[in-house]
A and B are shown apart, each in its own frame.
Chain A
Amino acid sequence: MTRGRPAPAWLAALAISCALAFARAQGASTPEIDAARAELESARFDKALALLDALLGRSGLEPDAVAEALALRAQARVATGDLGRAEQDWKRLLLLRPAYEPDVATTGRKARERFDRVAATVVGTLKLEVDPPEARILVDGRGVAPAADGTVRLAAGERRIQVDHPGFDAADLAAVVLAGDVVPVRVRLVPNARSVVLRTEPDGVEVRLDGSLVGVSARPEGAEGSQGPASARAARLVVADLPLGEHVFELAKPCYRTTRVRVQVQVDVADRGAIFLETVALDPARAVVAIHGTPAGAEVQVDGAVVGRLPVEGAALCAGEHTVEVRSGGRIVWSDEVEFPEQGAVTVDVSPRPRAIVLGAAVWPASLAEIDRRFGAEVRAALPPNVDLTRPAGWATVPLPRDTDLAAAVLPPESVGSVGRIVVFSPILRTVETLDAPPRSAERPASRTPSLGWRLADAAGGVVVAEVVPGGPAAAAGILPGVRVTTLVGRVSESAAQVRGVVASLPIASEATLEFLVPGEVAPKGASLRVAGSPELLPRPNGPASRAIAAAWAAVDAAGGEDTAFAAARLGALLLEAGNPEAAAEALALAELGARAGVGGGTIAYLRGRALALAGRDAEARAAFAKARETAARAGTDDGPAIAPAAVDHAADLGVSAP
């Protein structure tokens, strides 16, 4: 009798509570189901049944919700001893969930037997044997995961079985599931593709399959330095499940000739392993490169790697476009993008030139074309937003590549109007020049100016040689101060300015014929003067070169271009003028002019003294001025005024009494 009696309510509630706790975590959840579950946990079975009956009486429920509700109601019915109606629920439930098993904690032996009986009439088993075992299996369109022995419980009836796997043809078949029985099904897929293993020397080869990038070859872990066969050490790339037929692999790597490999993929039912291709050794593709020019001995880098020093002869370098940089004096003095042919030789001519950047123009405007032609220039189309590039402070926010000597910006006309659209910034001087017109000239400012070693003066009766610079061409030709210049290179002298203009047009190192009159004599005398090249420390303000362009060339030349010492002196003078004394002193320290007549060591000492004094380095400045005042050095050019008196005046500012 006890067995026929329902379990005590508290015991049933405890068991159901535990079972439901698990079921809650797994089963479908609706408000009604949750409410029914709560009633069950509280052993209020009647209320739970009422709720579940109402729910299952509704149409349009999701199958999962129906299954969950049936499972709960069956449990409630088992708990109330209504096994007959529980069987009805199990039957409906197994059609929806063939793998359903009632919970052993809430289902007594008798109820379990009743459930097993019901299951035997509704559910059957398929025992699947699939090759390859990892293939995907669908039953009636829903994925199934067979047990370890390959069995799958299914509702009795005819079922559609689909099996597929990459590299195989898919299988699609029907099977009848017999209730309470086990039906074996065997499926063997037919392969239709194979994996291919490419092996390359060297590694890092980019692989394209039929035009599409599929990867880069890499050496297997531990292969580096191993003693195994070469094929085992080779870099490899596995291309999985390559369809049957012919395929083309393209193997490419910089500095190597691109190679193509054709592969015919066939199926071998007996051997479904990957196809291992023979190791492909790429042929190096190198150009024979010569790099000539100045400064001799400068370091040459290609794509950041040192390849030698100027001149570089016969360097075997990777073909393709490369960045060539020549470094001297701690900076880049020449750079360009150069195309090296895959085969053959190429010669690159190098001559130091400034690096320029242009902003705000997709192409160089005509007015800046000269800079483009003469400078190592780079165009960046975009202007930085909200930056005032007409002021140095604006440029401070623009990231410029290292060793940029000049930067130009073409401003939009709407921001500045039709004039002043071009601004030229000197990162060296930290100055901005606004141009209404094209730069007067981007030509390399002459590092030397022609000089005859004299100073002239206009006077009644003609142009007179007022002063002869010791050691200069006029002194060498025996010209004395006071003679009157009648002709120079056949041109009649009209004024001191006109004669200076004639001198400026003479080629350096040429011979200039001079006719002159000595006071008291009637017949002119003749002489031949060898035109000397004088440094010109500061370009004249109305001269052809802007300060920014002059500084750019001076910086490059000082690092190894033409007349390094003169260029350093000019750079120092420009920096001093621009109010950057520390940099000026640094540049001037490189200007070794020694005891040269005219602009010489004394001139450099003087300029350094000025820079050092401005920088507050008084002791060093005093020493520099002391040196300068002891010399006969000249200012500006070899024909300029002597600097010694000015050095004395500067020294007085530093507390040094005149000698």
Chain B
Amino acid sequence: MTITRTILLPALAAGLLAACLAPARAQAPDPAAAEREYRVARRLAADGSPEAGAALARVVALDPAGVVADDALLEQALLEGLPAWPDAMGAIPEAGLRRAVPLLERVVGTLSASDRAPEARYRLALARLEPLAGRDPAKARAEFLALAASRVDGPWPLAARHALGWIDEQDGALERALGAYRRIVVDHPWTQAAARAGMGEGRVLARQGAFGPAAAALQDALDGASGTHPAAVALREAAVRNLRRAAFAGARWPAAPPSTWASGIKSALAAVALPAGEVLVADRRAGAVVRFDAAGRESGRVALDELQALAVDPYGRAWVAAGERVFVLRGDQAVPVANQGAFAPAGSLAVDAAGRIYLTDRRGDRVGRVAPGAASPELLRERRGAAIAAIAWSGGRLLALEERTGRVIDVRPDGTDQIVGTVPTTSATSLVVDAAGQVAVLDARGGSVSLLGPDGQPRDRLMLEAAGVGRAAALSFGPDGSLDVFDASGAVARFP
């Protein structure tokens, strides 16, 4: 036995080694060919050719550690649709992310000294933040911190610092987020990162109720940014409105009558506004989610039976609870992502920046949570008789509206809760939150909308009948802070 092992093991090892080396000998690195192939692949990628990915893979195969290997790997990953900024997350499919991450890991790991390594590091950290299964925010934060503190040239350390601000913002750590954003704005003015950070500043300041500085920050950001940023424009408008309201009108709704239009919706169940100003309305009777553009014209619809709830997440993605499932809308398609399980039929729906889906059962006693990639929800909170009428995700917290008490509570990740504020109503049916964190609660029976600040303090009460609105069924806050009220007749009133 001993003799056999003595002879056979080395022979086996040698054989294995030879087998491993054989392909390497067969394909020695060819830098010149790799560079030629890279030029072709880059053009294919620019043309949007489906062959681009394979061409980039060939570049890496020709010279795995060559000067263009990092470019080829990174650009291969980018073809999967990796976002450039955190607020653009949520768009890449899970399969694409699974293909992109190993490519990025290879650049960061084996080609860490290459010139594209900082970008790969940034993209990899961002990929770890994607609201999908396998999300690892702690690791992402550590990566961003390391990259932000590095002194490598290029925009990536700044982009990493911006991402740190974004993480804090989504976690509700607003002061820390403001610090991260402000630091970029102050230290690196006139850069794209500063423009992005300025928008983050604007969001955070608005959430803190500092509407004037928020508007100013957004103005600076928009002046310095390239391209259009409709969400920032809308938020600036919202900040200015709130500023003027708070400063001169006692934070009250303007006396001016709302603009109205006929939506054709007969049975509005819920409504959400998308960042570009579009509005989605769930029409229970029609069995469809109807899309309206910013001017109130219908621009599309998605048919779904047994509609129950509608939500929009921090990335502007629309989510629908229907039947026994939860769907995400991609264009005019509803893509199922989770089962409602024991919570079906859902009473209300919310989605956070991590991609976690929150839903209540029909009676509003239980709150469930579906982790990204999980098939069905786990129980987060159960209170018999709580009668939660609506939930909404806002700035790092899950707000829930108790129908009978009119209380708005903050449901914490461990299932405990804290009262944020109370609305004087006996029939609170709808809860919406604007970009500045202001909470509007619809009292359908009482015909009023109550407005609370992010701190829960009452700010105003809008009497709908006096404003010419009939029986209200749903609310939505526009990105510019305007409030849309959908009544049972299909009319929509927009309060600026």
> How distant is the Cα of A161 from the Cα of B88 in the complex, in angstroms?
117
Contact partners of A32 in chain B: CB under 8 A: none
* B239 close to A541 (CB less than 8 A): no
> How distant is the Cα of A335 from the Cα of B190 in the complex, in angstroms?
37
Indicate whether A652 reaches chain B with its CB closer than 8 angstroms.
yes
Indicate whether B83 reaches chain A with its CB closer than 8 angstroms.
no
* A456 close to B182 (CB less than 8 A): no
Contact partners of A465 in chain B: CB under 8 A: 212
* A649 close to B212 (CB less than 8 A): no
Indicate whether B141 reaches chain A with its CB closer than 8 angstroms.
no
Q: B216's contact among A467, A653, A658, by CB below 8 Å, is which?
A: A467
B: interface residue count bin: 35 or more
* A496 close to B175 (CB less than 8 A): no
> How distant is the Cα of A609 from the Cα of B51 in the complex, in angstroms?
51
Indicate whether A180 reaches chain B with its CB closer than 8 angstroms.
no
Indicate whether B237 reaches chain A with its CB closer than 8 angstroms.
yes
Indicate whether A567 reaches chain B with its CB closer than 8 angstroms.
no
* B213 close to A467 (CB less than 8 A): yes
Those of A624-657 within 8 Å (CB) of chain B? 635-636, 640-643, 645-646, 648-650, 652-653
Q: Which residue of B lies closest to A610 (CB)?
A: B187
B337 to nearest A CB, angstroms?
36
* B179 close to A518 (CB less than 8 A): no
* B212 close to A482 (CB less than 8 A): yes
* A658 close to B243 (CB less than 8 A): no
* A643 close to B212 (CB less than 8 A): no
> How distant is the Cα of A294 from the Cα of B241 in the complex, in angstroms?
51
Q: A455's contact among B149, B201, B216, by CB below 8 Å, is which?
A: B216
* B248 close to A519 (CB less than 8 A): yes
Flag the segment in B35-43, B112-120, B217-225, B323-331 that touches A: B217-225
> How distant is the Cα of A111 from the Cα of B244 in the complex, in angstroms?
144
Q: Per-position contact with A for B221-233: 1 when CB-CB < 8 Å, else 0?
A: 0110000000000
B410 to nearest A CB, angstroms?
22
Indicate whether A480 reaches chain B with its CB closer than 8 angstroms.
yes
* A641 close to B176 (CB less than 8 A): no
Indicate whether B158 reaches chain A with its CB closer than 8 angstroms.
no
Q: B186's contact among A468, A518, A641, A658, by CB below 8 Å, is which?
A: A641
* A635 close to B179 (CB less than 8 A): no
Indicate whether A1 reaches chain B with its CB closer than 8 angstroms.
no
* B247 close to A481 (CB less than 8 A): yes
Indicate whether B196 reaches chain A with its CB closer than 8 angstroms.
no
Contact partners of A653 in chain B: CB under 8 A: 149
> Looking at chain B's contact residues, is the secondary structure mostly helix, strand, loop, or mixed?
helix
Indicate whether A464 reaches chain B with its CB closer than 8 angstroms.
yes
* B182 close to A459 (CB less than 8 A): no
Interface centre among B175, B216, B222 (most CB of A within 10 A): B216
* A459 close to B236 (CB less than 8 A): yes
Indicate whether B142 reaches chain A with its CB closer than 8 angstroms.
no
Interface centre among A519, A538, A540, A643 (most CB of B within 10 A): A519
Those of A205-229 within 8 Å (CB) of chain B? none
Contact partners of B218 in chain A: CB under 8 A: 457
Q: B183's contact among A455, A518, A540, A646, by CB below 8 Å, is which?
A: A646
Contact partners of B212 in chain A: CB under 8 A: 455, 465-468, 481-482
* B215 close to A464 (CB less than 8 A): yes
Once A645-B178, A649-B180 are accepted as A-B contacts, the answer to whether A635 and B215 lie under 8 Å apart by CB is no
B206 to nearest A CB, angstroms?
12
Q: A457's contact among B182, B187, B236, B248, by CB below 8 Å, is which?
A: B236
* A481 close to B243 (CB less than 8 A): yes
Q: Per-position contact with B for A445-469: 1 when CB-CB < 8 Å, else 0?
A: 0000000000111111000111110
* A459 close to B237 (CB less than 8 A): yes
* B190 close to A646 (CB less than 8 A): no
A219 to nearest B CB, angstroms?
66
Q: A641's contact among B217, B223, B247, by CB below 8 Å, is which?
A: B217
Where the two chains meet, the residues of B that have a C-beta atom closer than 8 Å to any C-beta of A are 149, 175-176, 178-180, 182-183, 185-187, 189-190, 201, 212-220, 222-223, 236-237, 239-241, 243-249
Where the two chains meet, the residues of A that have a C-beta atom closer than 8 Å to any C-beta of B are 455-460, 464-468, 480-482, 496-497, 518-520, 538, 540-541, 606, 610, 635-636, 640-643, 645-646, 648-650, 652-653, 658
Instruction: Kindly list 13 other residue pairs between chains A and B, CB separation below 8 angstroms, not including A635-B186, A649-B176.
Output: A458-B219, A459-B236, A465-B212, A467-B212, A482-B244, A482-B247, A610-B187, A640-B186, A641-B216, A645-B179, A645-B183, A646-B185, A646-B186
Task: Please give me the 4 A-B residue pairs with the lowest Cβ-Cβ distance, nearest first.
Answer: A649-B179, A455-B216, A457-B215, A459-B240
